[in-house]
Structure 1
Amino acid sequence: MKTLFKIKSLVLTFLRLFYSLLSGGEKCIICGNLSYLLPLCPECRKLFTIEEVKRCKCCGKELISETELCMECRENPVIKNVDGTFPLFSYRLWNKELLFLWKIQGIRALSYFFAGLVFKALKQLQLEYLVPVPPRPGKIRKNGWDQIDELCKILKYHYGIKVLPLLERISSTQQKKLNRDERLSTIKSAYVFSNKALLNLPQKLCIIDDVCTTGATLETCAQIIKANTSVEKVYAMTLFAVD
């Protein structure tokens, strides 16, 4: 499986690079300079560094003036079972376009770029075990891939991160089409614990998803894991956070 995945990844990367060269390259979404393989030039890739910033201890969003909690988590907290939330970047400006190109346009070369960033963050936080937020039923069969599934496979086979498939999604409703209240009311029935055969689970692990909007998905997944296992600490990491 590991060898097959690496071969498949190499072929896809080569084809993407070949197409990029054949078409004369593409523009970097940040500076507009010529770039190949990724929609980011080498210089602009350096902007994506994992920095330590003051974050809300509940949802993980960057704080401006509050001491421990953001205003939203003070007044109406969603996250209660997650022991720490770590979004890597804000969902603003070119980050929105980058997620769209990866998730919707299917520029899968970005999976390796994001995987490298996640690996660095996991090392800083001393987290070794990942639980992916699973895709909607039938998504991989329909689209041929899922961004979080592929991200976790890269982290597993190329970086040695231990990936634990503990969850299953049973709802096919797309969360991005729902407003905040609808997300909060439907998300609790969207996921179930799916792998009781996995024994000797670690004391702490980390849920991984692409973007945190309300935090409802992360909270639901953490609640399910804690209710069905002996895991004591459940953290969450996302590439982006809507703030």
Structure 2
Amino acid sequence: MRDLGIEAAKITRALWYVDKQACIFCGEEQGVICPACTTEYLHPELGRCRGCGKLILSEKIHCLDCEAGKGPKHLDQITAWGHYAGGLKEFIQEIKFKAHPRRLMEIARPFSDWAISQLPVVDGVVAVPMHASRMAERGFNQAEVISSVLHWQLGLPILCGVERIASTSSQVSLSRQERLHNLKGAFEVQQPEKIKGRSIWLVDDVTTTGATLEAVAETLRESGVQAIYGLCLAAGLEKKLVPLCD
């Protein structure tokens, strides 16, 4: 009986405890995100442009584009957890294109802790919506999964009602102005009275020019949302910075 008790204890420890946790980006057994990957992909030493979210020199609050008036106008702030490159980029692409949304739970705690340290507490979280045709193709909206992570970790309500009513062409090769034109009229708020006067985090996986966040935010502003803070997993680096990874 004593041996059975020892074996049961070993099984319990195996189920509930992990002595060494592998880094989700490189696999090294140095914690959820190892120091090397934190430096290479999350860049805590760099600031984030308050206008578009891209990583910039820490002493500034806006990138050159936003200083020149070329950034989003309808958000109070945009911030991104890390640089869309290397291990973080591969992680996001595996979630989106290889249908592994559950992997977002691996970063739930560090991402949520970072988000609440960067942005004001708000009334709720809004996910950038996906058109029904894309949803049918992919099977999930990664922005909604990220919103669910924030809800469970921080207790922030998920606010629904924003829909993507137009299916648009790919934004990848378009300039910011072309992206904004492409997204014109693509979003609509159902029952705006439910979000009027509220403050929100507007959540997506990646921001490059900020055009998608801007298009959704414009629709939200027209529906009476008081404060909008964009939050993404990753963004680009300001062009004048030397790339720190490919």
The TM-score bracket by the shorter chain reads: 0.7 to 0.9
- Aligned with 1:198 (options 191, 194, 206): 194
Q: 2:221 aligns with which of 223, 226, 235?
A: 226
Offset of residue 189 of structure 1:
2.0
Residues 1:43 and 2:37 aligned together: no
- Number of aligned residues: 208
Match of 1:97 among 86, 90, 105: 90
* TM-score between both structures, scaled by the size of structure 2: 0.72
1:172 corresponds to 2:190: no
Percentage identity across paired residues of the two chains: 26
Output the CA distance in 2 between the equivalents of 1:114 and 1:138: 28
Aligned-pair distance for 1:109? 2.7
Structure 1 distance, partners of 2:114, 2:173, is 30
- The alpha carbon displacement at 1:76 in A equals 4.9
Q: Is the 8 A contact 2:25 2:91 kept in 1?
A: no
* 1:129-148 deviations in Å (ceiling 9; x for gaps): 11110112233333322212
Alignment correspondent of 2:114: 121
Rg comparison, structure with higher value: 2
Preserved CA contact (<8 Å) 1:56 1:63: yes
The one-letter amino acid of 1:213's match is: T
State the alpha-carbon separation in 2 of the partners of residues 199 and 218 from structure 1.
17
TM-score, reference length from structure 1: 0.73
User: Unaligned 5+ residue runs, structure 1?
Assistant: 1-26, 34-40
Partner in structure 2 of residue 8 of structure 1: none
Residue 240 of structure 2 is matched in structure 1 by none
Whole-angstrom CA distance in 2 between matches of 1:31 and 1:115: 17
Does the aligned pair in 1 maintain the 2:72–2:214 contact within 8 Å? Answer: yes
Unaligned runs of 5+ in 2: 1-21, 238-246
RMSD: 2.8
The letter of the residue matching 1:101 is E
CA deviation digits over 1:43-92, x for unaligned, max 9?
36244579474232312222228733211223351311110111110112
Select the residue among 189, 194, 197 that pairs with 2:185.
189
Q: 1:68 to 1:152 in 2, by over 3 A?
A: closer
Specify the alignment match of 1:237 in structure 2.
231
